[in-house]
Amino acid sequence: MTAMAHEPLTQAEVLLEGFLALDTPEGFRAELIEGEIVVTPPPDGDHEDCISLIVDDVIRKSRTRMQFSGNKGLKLKSGGGFPKDHAIPDGTFAPRELRLYRGADSWMPCEGVAVVLEVTSTKPKADREAKRRCYARGGIPLYLLVDREASSITLFSDPERDDYREQCTRPLGKPLTLPEPFAFELETADFL
């Protein structure tokens, strides 16, 4: 009996296998973004405070009841021959009726996610550019970016291919209107 020849793994398959086998230190996040493994240290207190304020506003004011997760990674479409992007947003919101987080492992598909949330930290360029492209390719309807360095908040909407066709940027301290399914003004004065 002869052994069957195995086809060699592609570079993208080797990269994905290596990424999925990573054992990052507690509190660190490892993501695979556009063919690059990105490891981010634990966030600072101001970063977490900003996320908490947004979660509180969404839960209290949203027209549609929402669930929040700050731990689930998303498997997203990739571009340029890379393996699937694996991003861990600072937060995702999905309509509660969908119960997306129940039963999902640590990497879930992005279908049904209403908005992804990022608050800039040690690698703001990744949040502004690469992650924005990843979320648009995944068809996530809304991307909310709090840019602490620029002291602004931006809502990206209307995803098409590698980007969002619309964006609304407001300085921190000014409210930002979130469309359906949220349908309320997000207050940002406390972010300063």
Q: How many residues does the chain have?
A: 192
| Higher-scoring residue by pLDDT: 5, 55 | 55
Per-residue pLDDT, 104: 64
DSSP bridge pairs for 177: 185
Superfamily the domain 11-191 falls into: tt1808, chain A (3.90.1570.10)
> Which residue do the tokens 């195995």 mark?
6
What is the SS3 assignment for 19? helix
At 4, is the pLDDT very low, low, confident or very high (cuts 50, 70, 90)? low
> Which residue do the tokens 């700050």 mark?
70
pTM: 0.91
